Structure 1
């Protein structure tokens, strides 16, 4: 009975019962502290974007007054960083394959440091636009590389919670930006907004120092033929020697390295050039890659078009429309938004590897639909009332907080987690960069048109529009996105390929996992193709 596990079922006087491993409840995996620390350091890159979003929501009020710019100029200034970040995102995929994930993170922090300093010393609108161009490139690098590195360094059992850390730090950055706005709002007008923007250089300094303590991604090391270095990193970031061996074997297979090659340095088989990768990803994708690309791009598209940047970036204007007129009160209300958003993203990190991606995502988007619809109703009532009833004002504020809470518990973190884990190794950097590019384009569109949008269709109408987009997103997620919880990065492709038959593929994967493995996800998978 060497292949069975003895378990006492707890009935007095009854002998122990032998339970096959496949039927025994899986043991809770240990958390690897080294992988946890690496994920935190890498994810701190995302604080750069968060701080900029948070600080611009308040600084924009004072910049408009000090520089005498129009609403259109303010919209462009607020959202243009997202467009500029496309340059960094486009360059980050190839750069990370060239110099490594670790030094790409360092490069992102250095570029943003320069951009933040330039914004702090800006003297006019044109100077500000140039400064935001520099900062935007750094943000683009950071957005692409942090989730990719975290997904590649994390064991499968905790990949969801660790890969959600970039979103955690985006929210932490937003909160810091809101607090900075409130703290510097009492300074002289021209000095206050410059301090608000310039302080953003401080987190990038700490990040640059922290990067020096990080190891390189084991997947990048394997692609360079440095198996010995990759083995050392995997030994530190895995929960057991067996898991480290399995992870190394998966990476070697994806990189085209024969499993019997175990020298510290090997010659990696010639890989496709970068243009061939783009052809495989965009021009001639297989059914599996096409499904993965649609899911990866779609989740980024709906994250932004559901209106989150409009709420976070323009929260002072939303609160003003709701009836709060004092600047200090508006900025204090935005701090409450930051606290709620950060609190619920922390809750999400504990649920991702327990509840799963799909249940959290669908519940999150459902909550967003309900809260943004109610917010639209409340703002419409306020718009059409001569006297603002206190209960309607309170309802509008509560719905803003409910919206960011429901976003943060699912849609926020899962976007980065999901899109960073589903692409095959050979396409991961470029595939994720496509998703980030779509994310930034749509964020830029929303950020640079929100004031014009609510002037055209009323502020309540704008949120009804976001509600409609979120409803379409919920249908998209329910129909096309498979559950990826607990799957190794190299198993993902078995769940994709047939848009409407992925559920049967998932059941087949789980069935073969139980037959060929130990019930914990660490066994061998015995299966044929499920590409449909």
Structure 2
């Protein structure tokens, strides 16, 4: 059943449901990110795991707090690297179910901690293995199954659910802090099991990635000509009954494009070494993906999400938990705008403009906190909160969803899983470095830390302008063609169109008109050349 049509493409309930269910991986990511900021301030948690001189005077050392917060990121770094072979071996869906099981084990280890902070930290590491693998598998699965005309929107639901998870974690934390003894933090941690069960069970009922199915068909079943399974998978994800999978030209067109691309790529090795070979701009795209994911962390967003309660405590707020709720709400609501922005304005311009906007507000945040003591000047503290909210507004509408969309659609089929893993691992590496070293840096330079992130945002805008190609509106196979076209440059890529079309607009208009064409083979041949 089709919900609606967009640019000549049917969008069915399966497309919507697989995007939403798979995005629970982002929700788990966000929930785990958001909860720790408040947990480390809960009284019972401090009594059990911090250093106490009296029951009312407990505090974490910078090393202990950094490890408790950041060991999740080390786990996600390792999990992201393992996410690729697991997703290729088990398929995208069953890999996600397995990874949810790993996450649940980590949650149980955390919940059973009593007075040994190292056990809690190890539990976060184990949970991180699952979260990291999911962060590689989910955007890839969404990009491979989404119609190209709304791929940005559907893939952006991953980031939307990250923000929703952060907001829910803040809300649950503020409600659970009044629970007696260990029930406060154990409730917050334990609820994470529910989110993993929703994803782990729900994803089994969704279709496998049609590109993954085709890859298996070519590797194992090409001799028997079994292409029907992949074409039916495409049709079902577009809201078209399986019995009509062969009646729609756009299904045949996309399936033929995938088929010829995979047929070509079956002669190319897809190991880890291939990710670093310059032919076909594979190395270029690996480095680009890793750079974008690193720069997403270096925007400074997790400076607020991990340590927001501590930061706003230091500006004199009596209840920093409430400010965390405000930041989380701004992040969540503005991500809806981000879904529109990334679909309406493409990928390049939002990242360029977002980098400049975020940098400007971080300069305001850092300058205000450095010039005047916010504890003694309430107006400065309020200005810093406004600056943080404006920064989050820009981040939620540009860099937050944009990078995850690009990781799903930038790489060729054969190496997509591994390149996505490498890119996501880079994200988690910087996630760890920021989480671990922020207490030390914050103690040393206080709010001047904002200047560092401001500079990184400007760097991100420069990288997006000079190296990122505009991939909106194209199928994944056409994106691969664009990157390998020697006549196309990043700053001219918005006008690029596949052979047979005069411009990107002409290409989109003809796709909307639902007119059949027979240029797929020629397109692939040009890409090979």
TM-score, normalising length: structure 2: 0.86
Is residue 313 from structure 1 mapped to residue 293 from structure 2 by the alignment?
Answer: no
Is the CA contact 2:488–2:496 (under 8 Å) kept in the aligned structure 1? no
- Note the C-alpha offset of 1:517: 5.5
- Note the C-alpha offset of 1:479: 1.2
Equivalent positions of 1:88-103 (< 5 A) are 88-103=79-94
Partner of 2:19: 39
Is residue 485 from structure 1 mapped to residue 472 from structure 2 by the alignment?
Answer: yes
Could you tell me which runs of 5 or more consecutive residues in structure 1 were left unpaired when the two chains were aligned.
1-25, 258-268
Whole-angstrom distance in 2 between the partners of 1:239 and 1:188: 49
Partner of 1:113: 104
Q: Which of residues 214, 217, 225 in structure 1 aligns to 2:209?
A: 217
Deviations 1:355-396 (A, max 9, x none): 21122222222221111111111211343x7x6222211111
Whole-angstrom distance in 2 between the partners of 1:118 and 1:127: 7
Equivalent positions of 1:65-144 (< 5 A) are 65-68=47-50, 69-123=60-114, 124-144=116-136
Check 1:531–1:380 CA distance in 2 against 1; reply closer, same or farther (3 A cut): farther
Is the CA contact 1:114–1:135 (under 8 Å) kept in the aligned structure 2? yes
Is the CA contact 1:88–1:138 (under 8 Å) kept in the aligned structure 2? yes
- Note the C-alpha offset of 1:397: 0.9
Is residue 450 from structure 1 mapped to residue 438 from structure 2 by the alignment?
Answer: yes
Equivalent positions of 1:68-467 (< 5 A) are 68=50, 69-123=60-114, 124-225=116-217, 227-238=227-238, 241-256=248-263, 277-282=271-276, 284-286=277-279, 288-324=281-317, 326=318, 329-383=319-373, 388-458=376-446, 460-467=447-454
Whole-angstrom distance in 1 between the partners of 2:149 and 2:239: 9
Deviations 1:195-248 (A, max 9, x none): 221221111122222123211111111111152221111112237721111121
What SS class does the counterpart of residue 509 from structure 2 fall into? coil
Whole-angstrom distance in 1 between the partners of 2:499 and 2:249: 22
Check 1:27–1:188 CA distance in 2 against 1; reply closer, same or farther (3 A cut): closer
Whole-angstrom distance in 2 between the partners of 1:229 and 1:530: 26
Is the CA contact 1:281–1:289 (under 8 Å) kept in the aligned structure 2? yes
What SS class does the counterpart of residue 144 from structure 1 fall into? helix
Check 1:504–1:303 CA distance in 2 against 1; reply closer, same or farther (3 A cut): closer
Whole-angstrom distance in 1 between the partners of 2:380 and 2:300: 21
Is the CA contact 1:48–1:112 (under 8 Å) kept in the aligned structure 2? no
Whole-angstrom distance in 2 between the partners of 1:271 and 1:224: 14
- Note the C-alpha offset of 1:272: 5.4
- Note the C-alpha offset of 1:65: 4.3
Whole-angstrom distance in 2 between the partners of 1:204 and 1:246: 36
- Note the C-alpha offset of 1:92: 1.3
Is the CA contact 1:82–1:444 (under 8 Å) kept in the aligned structure 2? yes
Could you tell me which runs of 5 or more consecutive residues in structure 2 were left unpaired when the two chains were aligned.
1-5, 51-59, 218-225, 241-247
Whole-angstrom distance in 2 between the partners of 1:27 and 1:158: 9
Check 1:508–1:337 CA distance in 2 against 1; reply closer, same or farther (3 A cut): closer
Q: Which of residues 446, 471, 485 in structure 1 aligns to 2:458?
A: 471
Deviations 1:15-56 (A, max 9, x none): xxxxxxxxxxx9575533321111111111111111111110
- Note the C-alpha offset of 1:133: 2.0
What SS class does the counterpart of residue 186 from structure 1 fall into? coil
Whole-angstrom distance in 1 between the partners of 2:488 and 2:359: 25
What SS class does the counterpart of residue 81 from structure 1 fall into? helix
- Note the C-alpha offset of 1:185: 1.0
Q: Which runs of 4+ in 1 moved over 6 A?
A: 525-528
- Note the C-alpha offset of 1:401: 1.2
- Note the C-alpha offset of 1:285: 2.5
- Note the C-alpha offset of 1:421: 0.2
Is the CA contact 2:71–2:122 (under 8 Å) kept in the aligned structure 1? no
Whole-angstrom distance in 2 between the partners of 1:502 and 1:413: 20
The two structures, once aligned, show a CA RMSD in angstroms of 2.5
Whole-angstrom distance in 1 between the partners of 2:439 and 2:231: 53
Is the CA contact 1:362–1:478 (under 8 Å) kept in the aligned structure 2? yes
Check 1:65–1:474 CA distance in 2 against 1; reply closer, same or farther (3 A cut): farther
- Note the C-alpha offset of 1:333: 1.2
Whole-angstrom distance in 2 between the partners of 1:94 and 1:245: 29
Check 1:367–1:272 CA distance in 2 against 1; reply closer, same or farther (3 A cut): same
- Note the C-alpha offset of 1:530: 8.4
- Note the C-alpha offset of 1:413: 0.5
- Tell me how many residue pairs correspond in the alignment: 487
Whole-angstrom distance in 2 between the partners of 1:518 and 1:388: 57
Is the CA contact 2:7–2:149 (under 8 Å) kept in the aligned structure 1? no
Is the CA contact 1:161–1:351 (under 8 Å) kept in the aligned structure 2? no
Whole-angstrom distance in 2 between the partners of 1:65 and 1:381: 35
Whole-angstrom distance in 2 between the partners of 1:320 and 1:379: 13
